[in-house]
Every structure is written in structure tokens, then in C-alpha cells.
Structure 1
Amino acid sequence: MHNKEYVKYGYDKESYTALEAITEAQKIAFSPILFQAVVCMRNKGLLAYLDQVGEKGATIAQIHDNIVLSDYATQLLLDVALSMHIVYLNEQHYILGKVGYFILHDKMTQINLDFTQDVCYQGMFHLEEALENGTPAGLKVFGDWTTIYPALSQLPEKAKQSWFAFDHFYSDGAFPAAFNHINQLNPKHIYDIGGNTGKWALYCASNNPELVITILDLPEQIALANKNIIAAGVESRVKGFPVNVLSATSLPNQADVWWMSQFLDCFSETQITNILSLIHQNMQDDAVVCIMEIFWDRQPFEAGALSLNASSLYFTCLANGNSRFYHSKVFYQCLREAGFHVEQDIDGLGLGHTLLICKKR
């Protein structure tokens, strides 16, 4: 019996003919090189120029006159773009195809491409070592840290910008829908565990003027959040509580809602269970735990599942060596082991997020 997501995505049978399969194999063999070529096409304005001229296209001479590259470099990138079906050629005029259009204009593609280039690319050379040792071996390209989280404020500027853009893009879009569900619980005090820069806390504060929110996170992240809290002028209702939930033996217990958004995917299955158990031990009996996560098996399109499974390799190689974007059944198991049951399971928030509303068993 196959799980339904494997059937939905076509993972339960062979998808290619032999000829198609060998073509796909070549794409994989050259994919790091082709990726860098696409980055160059974008950065040097080749794709933007073809987008500007539209369906009439442009000759090689016109393209060369409008981008700062040699004849050799321009022709080479165009030949690669043809092979990748990013552009097509009609009567000596190069025309931007749909793939090229989405590279330029689709925000998700832009975010993913920058994240891959600025955060992941160099470190991924050490993926095999990371898989063997269970440590983020690729993080060494940025510095000497055991995980990426304390290092976020110290990453090179482009890497830092791309990391936060990636993180916020996949959570912020779900905030309005998630907040509607949370607000129906009539919370008075929310603990935002792993609150990062404070985006969720500030969203809650701006949409419910009665709410008190406490961000629980590493000291380095609380320092970043405090700057945003002060800038928003909500210091009276939004506070920071520095804590490492992996090593803590107790937590404050005043909240009626404990919130975690794309936080638990930063940990291994054992660590997730331990964090949930710590919350279970410290929370009030009638409090609610709300977990917003993005599960690869809950995505409506295969592209979503592919993006999440690919992004999981970032967790392996650069973040901490032992976490990922999980299958939803993993979280259900961790919640059961920690003493929780799921009261509501809500799919389809934002870009494929799921909200789990849980209580003590």
C-alpha cells in the first residue's frame, strides 16, 4: 500500500522513458555549472534585456550592445540558455521563454535562487561529510560555529539578507491566515518560541492591541528582535526572554498560547520531542500549543515537495546537521511522545503551511 503523497507526486512508479531518463541524468551531472550560468545571465542583465524587448526578441548583436559582456561570453550564455529552454531562437532573434520569465519575476524562484547562491552553494561541497558525521560541515565556509543560528547576525551581508529573505518569505505569507485561527482562541499572552527577528510577535501586537507577547529565543536573536520591537514602539507588550530550549530545564509558564512557526524543523526528531516535552512540563494545563510548519507531504504541487526536500539539505550541511522539513507523520509521533494530541489540523495556509493546534492529553 503506497502512501497517498507518493502516488500524488508520481513517486510510486517510473516516470521517464530511457531517452528522457538519460537527458535528466545529464541535467543532474551538470546542474551546479548550469546554475552558475543562470546566475550570470540574471546578474549581467541578459534575461532582463530579453524581457524588456518582449516577444519580438533580439539578435545577438542587439543583445551584445545592451549588456556588458564580450561576444564570446554573450554567445556562450545564450547557447546554454537554449539548452536549458530558458530562451528560444526564432529567425535569429532570441526570445525569453517561460522559464526565463519566472526566474526574473517569480518571487519564490528569486528567493530560492539567492538563498542557494549566497547561503548554500559553497558549503554544499561538504554535504557528504555532513551526512556522514551529522554535523553542519559546510558551515565552515562562513566561520567556526557549531550551528548557523548564533551566527546569523555575523554572516556576510549578502548571505544574511538572503537567509532572512528565505526564512521570512515562507512564513510571513501564512501569518494573516494563521493569526485568524490563533485570535479565535482569545489569547491574552503568547509565547513565541524561536521568534527570530520578532516578525510574528509584531504582527500579533499590531493586530490585537490587548495581546502580550514574549519571544523566547537565543540571546543573539533576542538582541535582533529587541531592535525591531523598539522601532515599532511596542516595548510595553512585546518582550524578549533569552533561552536555549535545547539545554533549558524550565521555562516561564504565564502564556495561554505557545506558538512555534517553522521552529521545530530546525531540530532532530529526538530534539523536537524533548522541546515539546519541556513545554508540556512547564505550560498551564489549559494552555494551547500552536505549531505552524511546512510539511513536504502536504504540498499541493510536486514543485513544493521538491523545494522542501532540497531545502532540507541546507539543514544537513549548514544549519545543524540533523534536521529537515519533515513529513507530517513525524510531528504527530513527536507530539504523542511528548504527551499532546492534535485538536485541529489546518492545511493550506500561505505557501503550503499547516497549523497544528494541540493540547495536553
Structure 2
Amino acid sequence: MLNKKFSPERQSAFEARFEAQKIAYGPVVFQCVRYAWKRGMLQAIADAGESGLSIDDLAHDGRWTPYVLKVVLETCLSAGVVLIDEGRYALDKTGFVVLTDPITQVNIDFNHGVCYQAMFDLEAALDAERPLGLKVFGDWPTLYQGLSQLPEPARSSWLAFDHYYSDTSFPEIMPDVFATAPRRLMDIGANTGKFTLAALAYDKAVAMHLVDLPGQLAVADTRLAEAGLRERATLHPTDLLDDAAALPGGMDLIWMSQFLSCFSEAAIASIFRRVADALGPRGQVLVLDTFWDRQQYDIASYCLINTSPYFNVLASGNSKVYESEDYIRLARDAGLQLVTARDGIGYCHSLLRFARTEQ
């Protein structure tokens, strides 16, 4: 397990007060920086190079008034996104990251398109342990029932966020998935079928079993048919929050990627029990997930920790980004023992392999 710390050795009282103001004005800074990126201000400044642009230069073509430019760019200046020298704005390093770094852009879009309005209800959602912020999009008990019906740009932002973090890991983990030569492989939380398609392409003999809610499986069904792989996949529409919903048995391998973090500890314990029952002889379980305690860099831990409020206010009300020991403990209680753990996969994933305790 990797140990992390997030604060300097010491902060002066003045430094601490400044950091506190950054928190207080965080939502304002976020929106101004996003505006500067989305509306092309940052790109215009970047195109000018080190010489930069004055407010008059930027206002010349009429895209923005001097007033708007001053409001937005002064906030960007306070955040280190731009710098100013003799009245001319140039891109600072943070602005370069905002303008060019895909994962930063995915995170900004996700927090704006999916989380921002809902976060107003975080206090009530935490108190009730229910996703009370979800009402900004629709009347569903959790986000997952309404995922296929989310309005734009929320749906595209959610999918880009989910896939950007997981897809980078798929090519790297396929040898792990097929290390035991599974013939019957279950993808729990199959979503749009991206992993299933990758697995079917990797191994021509494997038969896939997809488990998810009907809305998600309908999308996966279409994608499998379009790829000509529908005959090698069986769909199992299942609400895993229903403790009585059993899983098909005799599986050589059960795969769960960025899935268990959608549930409370009690629900994860129930899922692990049913997963253990669904394993065939010498069957194993692979869990690919983002654990904030297993990151090499503080920046990854920071992003993961601060994704947990999304799970509360929007996704389920009672789930989060977990520590790895939480999964290991809950799996152990279900009769599964940790076999191996591998970190540093993709951007921030770890792969936990479990087998039945008696094996």
C-alpha cells in the first residue's frame, strides 16, 4: 500500500488563510477558468505566444467585450492560469495544462456537466445518504437507472469521464484477464460493453456473460450486434441492489471494473457473496478499480478522493472511492481471499485478484 500526504510540513497562518480563501472561492474560479477555455480565450492567448495579448487586442474582433475579458482573465490570473506583463496576458503553465491536458478537460467537463448543479444539495444528500442532487436530471432512485436517459451534455460528460479512466487500462490488463484461460467470463457492470468487446476480440474462444441494468445492456446489445459478436455473448439484466438477485453460475472468471465503487459497503458485501457463489471450480475474480490509497502521486489521490462526493449526491447516496483494504475485507467476509494485487495500471488503477478461500 502506498502512503500519501497532502499538505506541506508547515503552513504559516497567512498561508493557511490564503489556502482557505481558495476553497471559499473555488466554485467561482472553476467557472471563470472553464469559460476562458471553452470560449477560446486561452487558445487566443496561447496562439499569441510569449508576447501575449492586451485586453484591446483580445477585444478587437468582437468576441468579448473589455468588461468580460477583465472579469474572466483577472480570475484566471489569480489562479495561475495566465500571467500579465506590462498589460499583456500570456498563458501560464496551469493554463497550458487546462488547454492541452485531456484528463484535466475530462474532469472539468464531468464536474460542470454532471456534478455542479447537484452539488448544491450535497449537505442534504450526506445527511440522508441518498442522491438528492439527482433531481436536477430526473426522478430516479440512483443515477444508474437513469444513465441512458441523462440529458446532454451530462450523459456525454459522464461517459467520457468513465471511459477515459477505464479504457486506458484495458489493453494492459488483457494478459491478466486471460492468464487462467477462462472460457466462461462474466462482466458485471458491463455498461456499454467496451470491456466485453475488447475481451471477445482478444480471445476468440471465450464466451461472455454481461450483467447490468436493462438500459445499459440495451446499448451493449446494439454494439455487440454491430460488431458481429452477439452470438458469443449472453445478457443477464440484473439489479444487483436486489439482494435476492442471483448470478449465473459456473464462471471461470468474474470481472468487475470501476463497478463496486457504485455501491455501499453492505451492497458490496452482498455482491461479493453472490460472486463467490457464481464461480466454477478454480474460478477467480478480478476487480479493477481506483483506490486512493494505492496511488503513486498525490495528484491522483486528490482527484479520486474528491470524486466521492459525486457518488453521494448523484450516483447512489452511499458509495464512494474506497481504500483497497475495504474491498479486501469485504471479499474475505464473503469467502474470497486476495491472491495478487497490481498497481500502476493505466492512469490510476489497481487490479485485485481473488479466489475462494478453500482453493
Bin of the TM-score, shorter chain as denominator length: over 0.9
Deviation (angstroms), 1:255: 2.1
1:125 aligns with 2:117: no
For structure 1, list consecutive stretches of 5 or more residues without a partner in the other structure.
none
Contact 2:2 2:294 (8 Å CA) reproduced: no
Name 1:298's counterpart in structure 2. Answer: 294
* The 10-residue stretch of structure 1 (76-85 or 162-171) with the greater mean CA deviation from structure 2: 76-85
1:137 aligns with 2:124: no
Q: Compared with structure 1, are the counterparts of its residues 9 and 188 closer, same or farther at alpha carbon in structure 2 (3 Å cutoff)?
A: same
Name 1:193's counterpart in structure 2. Answer: 188
Segments of 4+ in structure 1 off by > 4 A? none
Contact 1:49 1:66 (8 Å CA) reproduced: no
Deviation (angstroms), 1:15: 4.2
Contact 1:145 1:151 (8 Å CA) reproduced: yes
* The 10-residue stretch of structure 1 (227-236 or 260-269) with the greater mean CA deviation from structure 2: 227-236
The normalised TM-score by structure 2 is: 0.96
Deviation (angstroms), 1:240: 1.6
Name 2:255's counterpart in structure 1. Answer: 259
* The 10-residue stretch of structure 1 (109-118 or 218-227) with the greater mean CA deviation from structure 2: 218-227
Contact 2:286 2:352 (8 Å CA) reproduced: yes
Name 2:225's counterpart in structure 1. Answer: 230
Paired with 1:156 and 1:15, the residues of 2 have a C-alpha distance of: 45
Deviation (angstroms), 1:140: 0.7
Name 2:156's counterpart in structure 1. Answer: 161
Name 2:18's counterpart in structure 1. Answer: 23
For structure 2, list consecutive stretches of 5 or more residues without a partner in the other structure.
none
* The 10-residue stretch of structure 1 (242-251 or 193-202) with the greater mean CA deviation from structure 2: 242-251
Deviation (angstroms), 1:95: 0.6
Paired with 2:158 and 2:342, the residues of 1 have a C-alpha distance of: 27
Residue from 168, 171, 175 that aligns with 1:173: 168
* 1:51 counterpart SS class: helix
* The 10-residue stretch of structure 1 (257-266 or 223-232) with the greater mean CA deviation from structure 2: 223-232
Deviations 1:268-294 (A, max 9, x none): 111111100011123223111111111
Q: How does 1:40-189 map to 2 (within 5 A)?
A: 40-66=35-61, 68-189=63-184
Q: Compared with structure 1, are the counterparts of its residues 4 and 242 closer, same or farther at alpha carbon in structure 2 (3 Å cutoff)?
A: closer
Paired with 1:326 and 1:151, the residues of 2 have a C-alpha distance of: 24
Contact 2:97 2:104 (8 Å CA) reproduced: yes
Name 1:332's counterpart in structure 2. Answer: 328
Paired with 1:273 and 1:137, the residues of 2 have a C-alpha distance of: 24
State the one-letter code of the partner of 1:336. R
Q: Percent identity?
A: 39
1:275 aligns with 2:281: no
State the one-letter code of the partner of 2:93. K
* 2:347 counterpart SS class: coil
Contact 2:249 2:277 (8 Å CA) reproduced: no
Deviations 1:189-222 (A, max 9, x none): 2100001000000011112112211111111111
Contact 2:249 2:280 (8 Å CA) reproduced: yes
* 1:19 counterpart SS class: helix
Deviation (angstroms), 1:88: 0.5
Deviations 1:205-251 (A, max 9, x none): 11211221111111111111111111111111123211112214421
Deviation (angstroms), 1:168: 0.5
Q: Compared with structure 1, are the counterparts of its residues 166 and 72 closer, same or farther at alpha carbon in structure 2 (3 Å cutoff)?
A: same
State the one-letter code of the partner of 1:54. G
Deviations 1:321-341 (A, max 9, x none): 000010111111101111100
1:351 aligns with 2:351: no
Q: Compared with structure 1, are the counterparts of its residues 89 and 353 closer, same or farther at alpha carbon in structure 2 (3 Å cutoff)?
A: same
Contact 2:254 2:285 (8 Å CA) reproduced: yes
Paired with 1:10 and 1:85, the residues of 2 have a C-alpha distance of: 20
1:213 aligns with 2:213: no
Deviation (angstroms), 1:51: 1.5
* RMSD (CA atoms): 1.4
The normalised TM-score by structure 1 is: 0.96
* 1:285 counterpart SS class: strand
Paired with 2:251 and 2:41, the residues of 1 have a C-alpha distance of: 53
* 1:354 counterpart SS class: strand
State the one-letter code of the partner of 2:57. Q
Contact 1:57 1:94 (8 Å CA) reproduced: yes
State the one-letter code of the partner of 1:89. I
Paired with 2:275 and 2:241, the residues of 1 have a C-alpha distance of: 11
Aligned residues: 356
State the one-letter code of the partner of 1:284. G
Deviation (angstroms), 1:10: 4.2
Deviations 1:270-321 (A, max 9, x none): 1111100011123223111111111000111111111111111000000000
Deviation (angstroms), 1:14: 5.4
* The 10-residue stretch of structure 1 (123-132 or 41-50) with the greater mean CA deviation from structure 2: 41-50
